[in-house]
Structure 1
Amino acid sequence: MATPTLDKMEAAAAASPFITVTFRIRRFNPEISDESTWQDFQVEIDPKERVLDGLHKIKWDLDGTLTFRRSCAHGICGSDAMRINGKNRLACKTLIKDINPEKPITVEAIKGLTVMKDLVVDMEPFFQAYRDVMPFLVTKGNEPTRERLQSAEDRERFDDTTKCILCAACTSSCPVFWNDGQYFGPAAIVNAHRFIFDSRDEAGEQRLEILNDKDGVWRCRTTFNCTDACPRGIEVTKAIQEVKRALITRRF
């Protein structure tokens, strides 16, 4: 077999889709230190791949101690929310080429929740707020013998807020939540909205009273961080304002 010439090897290298990207990751391991540190990793990667793919390469090939959450890897489970270049995103939906790979890509845990290790945070306060707003259909009377029918118009009223995947990107982008973890946060309010405006539900008043609490919907300062951070495109700020309006008018 003929040995490839230097020219052919250089041409092949030039045609390669891979580039060298620096991932600058904020590391934290409570078993080693109480302080977090930044660590750089050099990764050869196709810019059309995702940040999640880069994290996989680091964990599988460079440092197996790197810790992060991920599950479906297709933007549905919401488990890989993190701060990428200072903005809350899903690592599985963020392409390398879209975040300027010529500079280091910074990756750190989302804010406002206690970091347990590296990119993993304690989600329990977030899910407790979600549970507190009663995110389930409440009806009275006997169990029906057939499905509860709903018009397309009635469904449209709350369709946007059914898209929430509980990734916490919106809540952990909220300055109020950063400073006071008692605030319910945008995600909990969005999920309350989904049932408050559901024509089949009968607990709207009860949810509104829950959100009328001092740590409820009135803590929102309408900064739109939550709407900007939502990977599903939910109009979070709009939903919060609609809940506020329902509290004032008692019309929903």
Structure 2
Amino acid sequence: MTIVTDASDTAQAAADTGIQAFLVTFIIRRFDPEVDAEPRWVDYDVELYSTDRVLDALHKIKWEVDGSLSFRRSCAHGICGSDAMRINGRNRLACKTLIKDLDISKPIYVEAIKGLPLEKDLIVDMEPFFASYREVQPFLIANSTPPKDKERIQSIADREIFDDTTKCILCAACTSSCPVFWTDGQYFGPAAIVNAHRFIFDSRDDAADVRLDILNDKEGVWRCRTTFNCTEACPRGIEVTKAIAEVKQAVLRGRS
């Protein structure tokens, strides 16, 4: 099935700006639980600029071609993390993936991320992902009382220790790129461990031992096989595999 947009407006805009537009083929894995027994691939040919993003293409398809296409998106600037999906076999954010960075001489394949229950088209059920996130207690737990009307002071050096893992936007790109997570429904997954790391190494926190005990479980950090899929998938550039390794070391010796 091939659906082509009306390209007159795009062509006119291209002529006005001098920027060339291209006909790009998207092959999207569609699934409607009300009518489909299994997912199916649907082709769409759309006119795009090289500076457009995959999210722009999805908008064009939904708004101009097939309004039944379903996907999540919010900020469209790589902050909310809601539009994580597999693009040409790699986990990416649709809003950060430029058409010019893809080989448009071939079809662009788009499908939902793996390892989480598929709800519809590019939308998955994120509850198992957030359940693991909540289980590691991703919030500051401090037993001491700060001085009256004062903040909890932390040095620049202490803040730097966990700075990288504060960048997580909970998009699930890392977790759903992990082969262990695909095959083991109990594994916490990289994102949960990253968010545990953020507090385990926070000098203001007093519950590192609690989180380390949680992650010392058979489905915790020891299930990681260090394939680096998670680090490669992270749209924020977090060194996920390194963070997991640091948590492993902390389990063995205690936080230091």
User: Could you give the per-residue CA deviations for residues 80-109 of structure 1, whole angstroms, max 9, x where no partner exists?
Assistant: 000000000000000001011111000000
Whole-angstrom CA distance in 1 between matches of 2:123 and 2:66: 16
Query: Secondary structure of the equivalent of 2:28?
Result: strand
| Offset of residue 175 of structure 1 | 0.2
| Structure 2 counterpart of 1:161 | 165
1:74 to 72, 77, 83: 77
User: Is contact 1:47-1:101 (8 Å) kept?
Assistant: no
Does 2:125 align with 1:128? no
| Offset of residue 223 of structure 1 | 0.2
User: Is contact 2:55-2:95 (8 Å) kept?
Assistant: yes
Moved runs in structure 1, 4+ residues, more than 2 A?
11-16, 141-145
| Structure 2 counterpart of 1:190 | 194
Does 2:89 align with 1:89? no
Does 2:59 align with 1:20? no
Query: Secondary structure of the equivalent of 2:51?
Result: coil
Query: Secondary structure of the equivalent of 2:64?
Result: helix
Whole-angstrom CA distance in 2 between matches of 1:12 and 1:122: 43
The unaligned stretches of length 5 or more in structure 1 are: 1-8
User: Could you give the per-residue CA deviations for residues 129-178 of structure 1, whole angstroms, max 9, x where no partner exists?
Assistant: 00000000001144653110100000000000000000000000000000
Whole-angstrom CA distance in 2 between matches of 1:16 and 1:141: 60
Query: Secondary structure of the equivalent of 1:83?
Result: strand
Moved more, 54-63 or 11-20: 11-20
2:57 to 46, 54, 64: 54
The verdict on how the C-alpha distance between 1:153 and 1:141 changes in structure 2, with shifts beyond 3 A counting, is closer
Matched length: 243
Whole-angstrom CA distance in 2 between matches of 1:169 and 1:33: 26
User: Is contact 2:200-2:255 (8 Å) kept?
Assistant: no
Does 2:143 align with 1:140? yes
Identity, % of aligned pairs? 71
2:154 to 135, 150, 157: 150
| Structure 1 counterpart of 2:226 | 222
- The structure having more radius of gyration, on CA atoms, is 1
- Aligned partner of 1:172: which letter? S
Query: Secondary structure of the equivalent of 1:24?
Result: strand
User: Is contact 2:51-2:100 (8 Å) kept?
Assistant: yes
The verdict on how the C-alpha distance between 1:13 and 1:251 changes in structure 2, with shifts beyond 3 A counting, is closer
1:210 to 197, 210, 214: 214
User: Is contact 2:174-2:233 (8 Å) kept?
Assistant: yes
Whole-angstrom CA distance in 1 between matches of 2:134 and 2:18: 52
1:177 to 162, 181, 184: 181
Query: Secondary structure of the equivalent of 1:41?
Result: strand
User: Is contact 2:146-2:152 (8 Å) kept?
Assistant: no
| Offset of residue 230 of structure 1 | 0.2
Whole-angstrom CA distance in 1 between matches of 2:121 and 2:64: 17
- Aligned partner of 1:199: which letter? S
Whole-angstrom CA distance in 2 between matches of 1:144 and 1:42: 62
Whole-angstrom CA distance in 2 between matches of 1:153 and 1:178: 37
Whole-angstrom CA distance in 1 between matches of 2:147 and 2:82: 35
The verdict on how the C-alpha distance between 1:12 and 1:192 changes in structure 2, with shifts beyond 3 A counting, is closer
The unaligned stretches of length 5 or more in structure 2 are: 1-11
Whole-angstrom CA distance in 1 between matches of 2:20 and 2:79: 28
| Offset of residue 214 of structure 1 | 1.0
- Aligned partner of 1:37: which letter? R
- For normalisation by structure 1, the TM-score amounts to 0.93
